Amino acid sequence: MTEQIDSLSARDLDRVCSLVYQHSGINLNAEKRIMLEGRLKRRMTSLKLDSYSEYCKYLFAGDRDPNEITQLIDAVSTNKTDFFREKEHFEVLLAKVLPALAARNGTVREIVLWSAGCSSGEEPYTLAIVLTEYARLHPAFRFRILATDISTSVLEKAQRAVFTAEVVNPVPPELRRRFFLRSKDRKSNLLRVVPELRQKIEFRHLNLMEDFALPEPADVIFCRNVIIYFDRPTQERLFRKFARQLVNGGYVFVGHSESLHHMDVPLVPVAPAVYRKADGYDRK
């Protein structure tokens, strides 16, 4: 690079933050300047641009690559996740939610679960492990999982279903042996999720800020540690959308640091960071 990179100008910072908010709902501000500058450097390196001002000229030019917005959102998205993260949620799912859904709907149809903001796949694969184990004890139980994210790069990683041994370590040893395949190269520390689980999950790109409709209503939505990056009005709009995509009596799981308190949405708390859709709410 021929020009020293210093920092984003106040004007460019505002423009980038506004663009990110418009397209993803992620609420950045001046307090996130250092983080944002670090993420933008990745794009500048890829595009062989020498300064933030050059990148912003490119970003806001009429003839830019139409995929650059997607690349920008990928760069600024935070994709922290783990297997069995907030494991109490999976205990609630098994002990309370699935029995309640069975009592309400019987075992005639599959249960549909949606991992919204699935990142690199640890959450939907954890769900698949937990539900497969549940199905062993309840042979009539059937399920499928939809997993979506705004970031195309993490979706590609999720679909590969390959993780390091360190990443898989939170999975209990017995389940690790059952649901992960080791590389033929014994020196490798990579494991891959077994086909039995992979076929239970459909991965899709989805921007939660856009209008969307699931092919059929979900019974359970996991959207954990996602809304912390949105402002309150955006959070409320999103949970109204979620309510429209849920069956009556369906459930939403959020992160333990997140809350729907004081939101005007038809979701009532039933456990820490778990909500149930009130009966009679129209999906339309």
Q: Which two tokens stand for residue 106?
A: 């019987």
Distances, alpha carbon 136 to alpha carbons 139, 180, 192, in Å? 6, 18, 22
149 has catalytic annotation: yes
Which is catalytic among the residues 12, 43, 74, 149? 149
Strands 218-222 and 246-253: parallel
Q: How far apart are CA 17 and CA 44, in angstroms?
A: 17
Residue 11 DSSP code: H
Q: What does 101-141 look like in DSSP terms, one character per residue?
A: HHHHHTTSS-EEEEEET-TTTHHHHHHHHHHHHHHHHSTT-
Answer for the pair 200, 145: CB distance below 8 angstroms, yes or no.
yes
Residue in 39, 43, 224, 276 annotated catalytic: 39
282 is catalytic: no
Q: In angstroms, rounded to a whole number, what is the distance separating the alpha carbons of residues 219 and 110?
A: 9
49 close to 55: Cβ distance less than 8 angstroms:
yes
Active site residues: 39, 149
